[in-house]
Amino acid sequence: MNTQKPHIIDGINELKQISEWKTMTCLTGMRPTGKLHLGHYVGALKNWIEMEKIPNIRNYFLIADYQALGDYLDDPEKIRQSVKDIVIDWLSVGLDPKKSCFIVQSYVPEFAELAFYLNMFATYSEVMRNPTLKDEIAKIEKRESNNGISIGFINYPVSQVADILLPRGEIVPVWEDQIPHIELARKIIDRVNKKTGTDFPLPKALLSDIPRLTGIDGKEKMSKSLWNAIMISDSLPEIRKKVQKMYTDPNKTSVESEWNVENHVVFMYLDIFYEDKEYIRNLKKRYTEGWPDSIGDGELKQILVATLDAFISPIREKRTYYEAHLEIIKEVIDSWATRFRTEAKELLLELRAKMKIADYGA
């Protein structure tokens, strides 16, 4: 265990150990702001697929459309489409709604009710100190066309505490930028427990051991809004176009400077997506040693296009199937919402009773 940071679990192997003897609940989520890309796959979905295989873990995967209202209030169509796309992406990469609970936040209005109560336990200063929130506010303020920052947006870290608490989440798989939100969740839930006498679990973050995937620009982490992403739904021509655009080595600025395979963007992707690591070692050797067995960027890129297409094409095929069978998507969302609401109502009844709300006639 990480003794300095008891609220952090370092990687899936530690999770396997601590869940060996007891059932644990994991909750994690995504804002529906577009289709998913390879960065989501490498840094999140791949881990989630592993988590589904751990026997004692109950997984809740949340599509946080309430939270997305903070960014896209004026573009409801984008949120609607993204919710569908994300469920399709999840099913297509192999997440299994028979094993895990897929929740769309707005189908369970209990999230909003719980967030409302939790707001009373959160202090203004601790929310405003949250570094992730501060960064996001600064980014919005820099945009020319911003209509101000809504209270709903400021409130999202607290609403995220409700996301975790409603299924009584104990483990929250996240990227590092979300750690302040987990710390806030622990503070608020602890306060609720102390003030009202509930005994809700204090969540821990499960950090992915894979660093965030760098985009095709070789600079920033992969993100759709930075135009450096390869989507898990991209067609072969789209993959080809993007791989062609890759800087092979952002540090090689002149003909004389040395090739450095460690910073080489094409190799970075091959390292992750090409199964046979020995083959890649050999390619690197040919690339750096040159004549007589040299290999150039053009050929490397062709290998990468084929590699990524081999990875993406089965996902793409499944996507095509689900797009033609949207009734399956609807059924997954509806049936989980119904089941989960029963649990959610129980938690709210318990909390309302402890808070002595709506108990005035007795």
Rule CB under 6 A: is residue 67 a binding residue for ligand TRP? yes
Rule CB under 6 A: is residue 64 a binding residue for ligand TRP? yes
Element (H, E) at 257: none
Rule CB under 6 A: is residue 28 a binding residue for ligand TRP? yes
- Whichever of 210 and 328 has its CB closer to ligand TRP, that residue is 210
CA dihedral 129, 132, 138, 143 (to 10 degrees): -150
Region 172-191 residues binding ligand TRP, contact defined as CB under 6 A: 172, 174, 178
How many helices and strands, by DSSP H and E, does the chain display?
Answer: 16, 6
Q: Which residues on adjacent β-strands are paired with residue 205?
A: 8, 172
φ/ψ region of 51 (left if φ > 0, alpha if ψ in -120 to 50, else beta) reads: alpha
Alpha helices in 197-325 (DSSP H): 236-245, 265-273, 277-289, 297-324
Rule CB under 6 A: is residue 45 a binding residue for ligand TRP? no
Identified binder of ligand TRP from the candidate list 82, 155, 160, 228, rule CB under 6 A: 160
Identified binder of ligand TRP from the candidate list 86, 108, 164, 192, rule CB under 6 A: 164
List phi, psi (to 5°) of 150: -75, 155
Q: How far is the CB of 25 from ligand TRP (least distance, A)?
A: 12
Element (H, E) at 58: strand 57-63
- Whichever of 40 and 242 has its CB closer to ligand TRP, that residue is 40
- Whichever of 226 and 357 has its CB closer to ligand TRP, that residue is 226
Name the closest residue to ligand TRP (Cβ).
Answer: 29
- Whichever of 93 and 174 has its CB closer to ligand TRP, that residue is 174
Q: Which residues on adjacent β-strands are paired with residue 174?
A: 207
Element (H, E) at 101: strand 101-104
Stretches 10-18, 23-31, 292-300, 322-330: which one binds ligand TRP (CB under 6 A)?
A: 23-31
Binding site for ligand TRP (CB under 6 A): 27-31, 62, 64, 67, 160, 163-164, 172, 174, 178
